[in-house]
Copies of this chain bind each other. A is one copy, B any other.
């Protein structure tokens, strides 16, 4: 389904929650949307308790009026199924459908996402409200897209989950023998003799089983995906031409494998809230989204006018909203959407900001929103070209989950940090990278980086080997190749599945607290290894003379954490630049994130904070 065609030009707008405001505000909203150039709003994301105030009692009148009003204002609607927050009456009627924590506490409504995705009552109610919405608004001229649920990512450990987990495991393993083997059940006497003995990883006395924990995250991803697919089926049945999506969130805690989900959505959409270094985090998120979308356009569904930085939430600085939105678009987003249109007066996220801030339209924020809205139509032509990248970074959420298990040799080596470093180094040196699945076709890339691919299937190992054998450059970092798909160590020497390819054999892991200085003068941190050469040559050595970085043919192995500059040198990158630059055919998107004027291709000069989208033939 070519959803970009249906939606026309780049999407611009945000979550619209008119139910929080009196109707008198709605007319002003639509007028302001027109001023701002808004083309699309996500409507009704959290409106279930308004749409269905009691079981089976629907109140669509207000939504009819909003839909009509938006249509009359030329604004299209990305209509949500509101299943991310069931109404209070639902929780009361179905206490078994409330979330249970790992230590057995049953949560209460009062926030969002307080449901068990495996609870039959919740599943049924979700499909019912989705059907009711689709029946009501099928054919409505404003309806342009379906926004199923919101930010899938909840955990539950209740008995419904236990039953569903067992069914998922039976499907995956067939027999208890296979499960016991995959999970190494013999360790600590955890062999199962009947399926009902299998549990979600609930609170237990000491360390949990890492294979069980990994499979539980896989199960949660699949179970939530089943919930999505049930709604999608209803929506497709009743509105076959309307694209269906949901908005992905990203982070260690999210039990969602976006590679799998990307196959089920009509378009990949993401929410993105950068914190410490917004430009770098934006490029990372956008490149991931493009990877999940297989290089096709995707959509930035949510961003904010404020930045959360740990303990603080501050308004974005002048120009920042524009620059970050452009970065997303340059990297493949078919527009720029926000949470939310109008900042809430109350509720849990009243300080989250909005395109219309608390201060109202007479504000710098809204002025910048208007300017950005006016700019977007001019970008449509450039956006028709594909984003170009010659480097790829292998991304595998399951490796991240497995590396997050208790009991690993170091608690200080998070997966996403390894991925971020690879991306950051390329980004700062002006190289655009794609993210790819470990088994993806790599033939288009000169350089493939493999950060800490802890779980490496035989298929992935063969894929990487093929790349190197074709002469492609491969840079593999420590904690790759270690385990099979069940998180069982591949014995005989690390890095297991990649040992032959890399020409090394690692005897021991030696994570460190204090840095060590390599013979190259670089200070390595966090992790070292006892590496033997077995076909490779040493590019850098530890103080004791053993190899730290090695090369066999075009395949490089990095057994420690290098500082960014050494990493860049290893990759043979050019100088750092504060200009983010993305090429799409003859078009170049350039954004100057620095504090000095910069020259960019085409002999253009970009002032600090400036940007350009220019046709620069190669």
Contact = CB atoms under 8 A, between A and B. Distances in A.
Given A191-B88, A409-B351, A108 B199 contact: yes
Contacts of A187: 17, 20, 46, 344, 346-350
Interface stretch (A225-233, A484-492, A596-604): A484-492
Interface stretch (A178-186, A264-272, A284-292): A178-186
Contacts of A206: 111-113, 348
Nearest to A491: B358
A251 interface: no
Contacts of A472: none
A520 interface: no
A359 interface: yes
Interface stretch (A99-107, A241-249, A581-589, A608-616): A99-107
B114 A189 contact: no
Interface stretch (A426-434, A459-467, A506-514): A506-514
A348 B188 contact: yes
A190 interface: yes
Interface stretch (A2-10, A310-318, A370-378, A556-564): A310-318
Interface stretch (A26-34, A49-57, A322-330, A569-577): A49-57
Interface in A507-525: 507-513
Interface string A503-545: 0011111111100000000000000001000000000000000
B494 A348 contact: no
Interface stretch (A69-77, A79-87, A255-263): A79-87
Contacts of A237: none
A190 B508 contact: no
A204 interface: yes
Contacts of A202: 107-108, 110
Interface centre among A112, A212, A311, A346 (most CB of B within 10 A): A346
A410 interface: yes
Interface stretch (A163-171, A360-368, A393-401, A441-449): A360-368
Contacts of A199: 108-110
Contacts of A198: 88
A154 B189 CA distance: 17
Nearest to A211: B346
B111 A359 contact: no
B507 A89 contact: no
A304 to B, nearest CB: 12
Contacts of A189: 46-50, 82, 85-87, 112
Contact of A87 (B193, B407, B409): B193
A315 B205 contact: no
B348 A407 contact: yes
A103 B47 CA distance: 26
B203 A88 contact: no
A314 B511 CA distance: 6
A493 interface: yes
Nearest to A482: B358
Given A49-B193, A345-B491, A492-B360, A315 B508 contact: yes
Contacts of A108: 199, 202-204
15 contacts: A47-B186, A49-B193, A50-B186, A87-B191, A88-B193, A89-B193, A92-B194, A110-B190, A111-B204, A111-B208, A113-B205, A187-B349, A311-B410, A360-B491, A360-B493
Given A110-B212, A359-B491, 10 more contacts: A50-B186, A110-B204, A111-B204, A112-B189, A184-B345, A188-B348, A313-B409, A344-B489, A359-B507, A360-B493
